[in-house]
Amino acid sequence: AAIPQPASTVVLLRPNANTGFDVYLNRRPDHLDTYAGVFVFPGGRVEESDCSAAMLALTRGLSPFEAQQKLGVSLPKEICLGYWVAAVRELFEEVGIHFLLCGPGTADSSSDALYQRMAERRANLQNGEISFAELLASERVYCDLSRLTYFFHRVTPEHYRVRFDTRFYIAALPPEQTPLASSEEVTESLWISPQLALERFAQNEFPMMPPTVMVLRSLAKYRSWTELRELLDVC
């Protein structure tokens, strides 16, 4: 069996008009080698740079020890925190949403100004012209890991050719930000309630992998946005 690769995924949530909540899903391009054409949550592999000293120095809201305790594993604390970093990085790379805090000396620390600057520099990160740590350091901002709530763990079964050891996080959409409708890694995206997504999946109208379905079933048990935030401590 293939060795599972560490990965992080973010289940982005927002309240809807019916006192409930919707999740953000995007469809992967049909030409990809893995999970082509299916609807997934934003995410990807944990990279070595996510666990580097330079990157971890640019995080706030969670310590390496706290990350290790939340995951409940014996992995090095720095690697545990790297799962959170990867979640923040992948969310920004894939759909343009960032969880960042302005540090002292930031030229313009308003939320709108930071959102605009990061949107303009996202292409530099995607093209490999700059690392995530270098981007944050140049903007004098930090990863706000407190915005992520650890939710779910899944390891791809052994019969799959490509396997992932994935940590799922849930997070509320920042009110001043809007995810991209499409990107290099996204063919289309939509906001949908967990219940409706599951109904469409049951009718073979909405292709999803088992971990995505499992997360949606867990979320569908919550009756309202208020209940979800209170029970899971979603920021």
What does the pLDDT read at residue 107?
56
What does the pLDDT read at residue 128?
86
What does the pLDDT read at residue 26?
92
Residues 151-173: b if buried by 16+ CB within 10 A, e if exposed: bbebebeeeeeebbebbbbbbbb
Low-confidence ranges of the chain (pLDDT < 50): none
What does the pLDDT read at residue 235?
59
What does the pLDDT read at residue 108?
57
What does the pLDDT read at residue 217?
96
Q: Both tokens of residue 135?
A: 């981007």
Residue 224, number of CB atoms within 10 A of its CB: 13
- Summarised one tens digit per residue, pLDDT across range 171-184 is 999 988 999 877 77
What does the pLDDT read at residue 187?
85
Q: Both tokens of residue 226?
A: 């208020």
- Long-range CB pairs of 228-231 (<8 Å, 24+ gap) are 228/13, 228/21, 229/172
What does the pLDDT read at residue 118?
86
